[in-house]
């Protein structure tokens, strides 16, 4: 992540906390929608019609928000329809970069080499901020992944992951696996309510904990995080998925935080009251989702650990990446008992 003001790159993206030291995430700015025929989407923005090969995703394997989009792309069978570029997991002073574009990644390391990261074969950018500037020369806002890019009009459609996954879930159904619907009409109100709590206290809660600038702000976010995890563990002791017997986008939005928790957030962000492995229901639930067909290949723990431990010198100034922990994500689970 980085920050741009009127098209100029800034390096103080983390300067987004309140007077009490609490971290406040800046809102995404590009909020257009892809729809089957280009008609306006839920935000009233449209004119982007679904077409095979027209759209491209810019992602980081390390980023939980980008991970959501890769999961839905995989589950809907859109791999051949929507291409992908993957940034290097290390995020330097200029933000997300593509391989071999930033010699300052690590002392002594070859510039930008990292397995799984790719060049930008669509626009030839070296950094993500160049794409934001291409889409809007006077752009002011955060430079994040994921980005849904229109190759035809050479612009950003959307950089809000919650909206991108909704587009991937339905806009491309003329070519996608229509047996998969992660936002079914009868469950939308419940999904939205769950998403609101999970986002505030868990997905963003780990960041509010890790990026807090005062003890009080840290403890407030910490307590909300573990109160939410306790409630989720209790909920999943009674039903297989967050809305009952059917898996939905709410489960996958939670999954991307859970799968990073023990390896990163527990230590790096000081979320250390309990590990997910210590929760009987959440740990089993995490294993089921990780073992869901096609999902393990979207999880890149090498990118995840490298990003967090090397990209936040204010938290981990040595940049040392821990070798552990050992995660039992492929161990058997017992979630079928709740079917």
Active-site residue set: 63, 207
Q: What does residue 157 show for φ and ψ, rounded to 5 degrees?
A: -80, -50
Element housing 288 (H / E): helix 280-290
CB 235 within 8 A of CB 243: no
Q: Could you please report the per-residue DSSP string of 298-331?
A: G--HHHHHHHHHHH-TTT-TT-PPP------TTS
* Listed residue (61, 63, 67, 1) closest to 28, CA to CA: 1
What Cα–Cα distance (Å) separates residue 4 from each residue in 143, 155, 205?
7, 17, 25
Rounded-to-integer distance, Cα 38 and Cα 41, Å: 8
What Cα–Cα distance (Å) separates residue 168 from each residue in 36, 180, 242?
11, 11, 21
Find the length of the chain. Answer: 339
Helix axes 249-260, 161-170, angle to 10 degrees: 130
The angle at the Cα of 254, spanning 249 to 332, to the nearest 5 degrees, equals 100
What Cα–Cα distance (Å) separates residue 98 from each residue in 71, 117, 301?
21, 7, 18
Q: What tokens were used for 114?
A: 């990292």
Alpha helix ranges (H) inside 121-248: 128-135, 161-170, 188-198, 205-210, 215-236
Rounded-to-integer distance, Cα 35 and Cα 40, Å: 7
Strands 147-150 and 55-59: antiparallel
């Amino acid at each position: 992540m980085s920050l741009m003001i009127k098209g100029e790159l800034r390096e103080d993206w983390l300067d987004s906390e309140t007077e009490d030291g609490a971290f406040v995430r800046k809102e995404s700015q590009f909020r257009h929608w892809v729809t089957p025929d280009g008609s306006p989407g839920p935000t009233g923005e449209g004119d982007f019609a679904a077409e095979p090969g027209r759209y491209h995703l810019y992602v980081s394997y390390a980023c939980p928000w980008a991970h959501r989009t890769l999961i839905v792309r995989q589950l809907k069978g859109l791999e051949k329809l929507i291409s992908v570029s993957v940034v290097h997991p290390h995020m330097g002073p200029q933000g997300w970069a593509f391989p071999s574009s930033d010699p300052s990644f690590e002392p002594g390391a070859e510039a930008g080499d990292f397995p799984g990261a790719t060049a930008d074969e669509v626009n030839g950018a070296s950094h993500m901020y160049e794409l934001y500037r291409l889409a809007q020369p006077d752009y002011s806002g955060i430079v994040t992944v994921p980005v849904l890019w229109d190759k035809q009009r050479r612009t950003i459609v959307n950089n809000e992951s919650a909206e991108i996954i909704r587009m991937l879930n339905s806009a491309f159904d003329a070519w996608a696996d229509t047996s998969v619907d992660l936002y079914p009409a009868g469950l939308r109100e419940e999904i939205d309510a769950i998403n609101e709590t999970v986002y505030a206290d868990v997905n963003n809660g780990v960041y509010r904990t890790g990026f807090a600038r005062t003890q009080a702000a840290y403890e407030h976010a910490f307590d909300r995080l573990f109160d939410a995890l306790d409630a989720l563990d209790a909920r999943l002791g009674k039903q297989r998925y967050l809305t009952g017997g059917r898996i939905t986008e709410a489960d996958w939005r939670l999954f991307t935080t859970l799968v990073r928790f023990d390896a990163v957030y527990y230590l790096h962000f000081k979320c250390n009251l309990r590990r997910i492995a210590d929760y009987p229901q959440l740990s089993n639930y995490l294993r089921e989702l990780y073992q869901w067909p096609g999902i393990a290949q979207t999880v890149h723990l090498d990118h995840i650990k490298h990003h967090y431990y090397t990209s936040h010198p204010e938290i981990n100034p040595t940049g040392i990446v821990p070798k552990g922990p050992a995660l039992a994500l492929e161990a058997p689970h017992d979630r079928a008992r709740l079917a």
